[in-house]
Amino acid sequence: MPASTTPDAQRSALTGLRSQISWFQNATRVSANYGDQGYGKVWEQFQSFRGSWSGLRQTLNPRQLNDGANAIAELDAGLDIIQEAFTNYQNDIAAGRPAYSALSDMCHVLRQATQIWAQEFNKHVLRLRIGSGLG
């Protein structure tokens, strides 16, 4: 059954995504406190973030999908680029870099990149009138 494209469904998905972004940002701030488990916690939160983005996309109506096709593609690509930080971390570890330093740097990059992604996302939410009932 396809996802609902009502303004209520969009607002709910939008709230969920914004919460996931916040939780992901928090995970990048505290992960170093978890030692070796920090990477897994950040990865798990990133996957939840991506899943929420996918869920929101499913609530967009045909007009929003058409009008926002380029924006959606850019946001998808942005998440792919953000995800590369996890590979960079793994490469750092394989090269012998201390895990704490590699994790700290990865989290810094993830926080900055996610802030930029969220700013772009918010511009598109307004332009496409996601959740407003006017899209």
Q: What is the pLDDT of residue 54?
A: 97
Q: What is the pLDDT of residue 134?
A: 64
3-state secondary structure the chain: CCCCCCHHHHHHHHHHHHHHHHHHHHHHHHHHHHCCHHHHHHHHHHHHHHHHHHHHHHCCCHHHHHHCHHHHHHHHHHHHHHHHHHHHHHHHHHCCCCHHHHHHHHHHHHHHHHHHHHHHHHHHHHHHCCCCCCC
Q: What is the pLDDT of residue 117?
A: 98
For the chain, what's the residue count? 135
Q: What is the pLDDT along the chain (135 residues), one digit of tens a residue?
A: 678 999 999 999 999 999 999 999 999 999 988 877 999 999 999 999 999 999 999 999 999 999 999 999 999 999 999 999 999 999 999 999 999 999 999 999 999 999 999 999 999 999 999 998 665
Domains of the chain: 7-58+72-128 (1.20.120)
Residues with Cβ < 8 Å from 24, sequence gap 6 or more?
42, 45, 46, 48, 49, 110, 114
Q: What is the pLDDT of residue 129?
A: 93
